[in-house]
């Protein structure tokens, strides 16, 4: 069942050609899954995922013109070495995002940069007008690429993001960025609530150590836990290499 849902999501985001990247016979399996009635088990265990799986079979007017965009969240200088809120392996993640960004540009795929500016009293990083709030050089926007400034973890809250996506017929998102446990997680869940389909590229995200009481949670464990919680219902979590291969078919 999980295999069929993944195949259907791949088709929805990147087209039938992407099936050649998965397994022989995937097209037949997906076709059979599309024709078969949904079982009570599917309805009971994964209603949201079942909705995503059914999406490729919908023939709504105008659906064929819907597009996929790359959404880059908060890849800004303060998250890097010598910044005011350095994350674990932020440089490594940014280099992988750079690879994905270059592939997206080569396919003329819409790219949206989210930039966080902290306006709240007591904020210590991403302060207005500071170098730390600037987008990192590895993913600097090019002319024509959309930049949206936000002030909350949710990239949709009090911004033009939703309006921009709908105006440009973008219904599917490939999401990367920082911090995994904060703005990435919040934005992915908000996108799901608003009806957008998302793929989250896990190794193109970065986070930091957290703590609760006297217990410290290492960044690697924070990363794994949040990606695991997102995967399945809110988005499909994949790797950068998997995303690159899929974008080659875009």
For this structure, is 150 an active site residue?
yes
Catalytic residue among 150, 172, 236, 240: 150
> In the chain, what are the helix, strand and coil shares in percent, each to the nearest 5?
45, 20, 35
Q: How far apart are CA 27 and CA 13, in angstroms?
A: 15
Catalytic residue among 183, 185, 203, 240: 183
For this structure, is 221 an active site residue?
no
The torsion angle over the Cα atoms of residues 94, 99, 104 and 105, rounded to 10 degrees, is 100
* Structure token digits, residue 181: 């446990």
CB 210 within 8 A of CB 181: yes
Q: Which residues, other chains included, contact 142 with Cβ-Cβ below 8 Å and sequence gap of 6+?
A: 105
Catalytic residue among 74, 78, 185, 203: 74
For this structure, is 64 an active site residue?
no
Please state the φ and ψ torsions of residue 215, each to the nearest 5 degrees: -100, 130
User: What positions carry a catalytic annotation?
Assistant: 74, 150, 183
């Amino acid at each position: 069942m999980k295999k069929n849902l993944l195949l259907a999501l791949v088709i929805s985001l990147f087209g039938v050609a992407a099936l050649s990247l998965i397994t022989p016979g995937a097209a037949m399996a997906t076709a059979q899954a599309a024709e078969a009635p949904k079982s009570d088990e599917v309805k009971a265990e994964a209603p949201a995922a079942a909705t995503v799986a059914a999406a490729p079979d919908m023939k709504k007017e105008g659906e064929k013109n819907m597009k996929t965009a790359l959404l880059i969240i908060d890849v800004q200088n303060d998250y890097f070495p010598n910044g005011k809120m350095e994350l674990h392996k932020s440089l490594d993640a940014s280099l992988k995002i750079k690879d994905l960004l270059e592939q997206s540009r080569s396919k003329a795929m819409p790219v949206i940069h989210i930039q966080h500016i902290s306006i709240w009293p007591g904020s210590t990083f991403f302060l207005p007008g500071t170098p730390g709030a600037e987008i990192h050089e590895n993913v600097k926007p090019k002319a024509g690429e959309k930049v949206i400034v936000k002030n909350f973890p949710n990239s949709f809250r009090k911004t033009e993001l939703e309006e921009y996506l709908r105006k440009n017929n973008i219904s599917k998102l490939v999401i990367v960025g920082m911090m995994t446990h904060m703005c990435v997680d919040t934005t992915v869940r908000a996108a799901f609530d608003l009806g957008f389909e998302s793929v989250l590229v896990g190794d193109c995200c970065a986070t930091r150590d957290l703590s609760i009481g006297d217990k410290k949670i290492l960044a690697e464990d924070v990363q794994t836990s949040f990606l695991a919680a997102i995967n399945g219902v809110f988005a499909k979590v994949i790797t950068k290499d998997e995303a690159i291969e899929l974008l080659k078919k875009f």
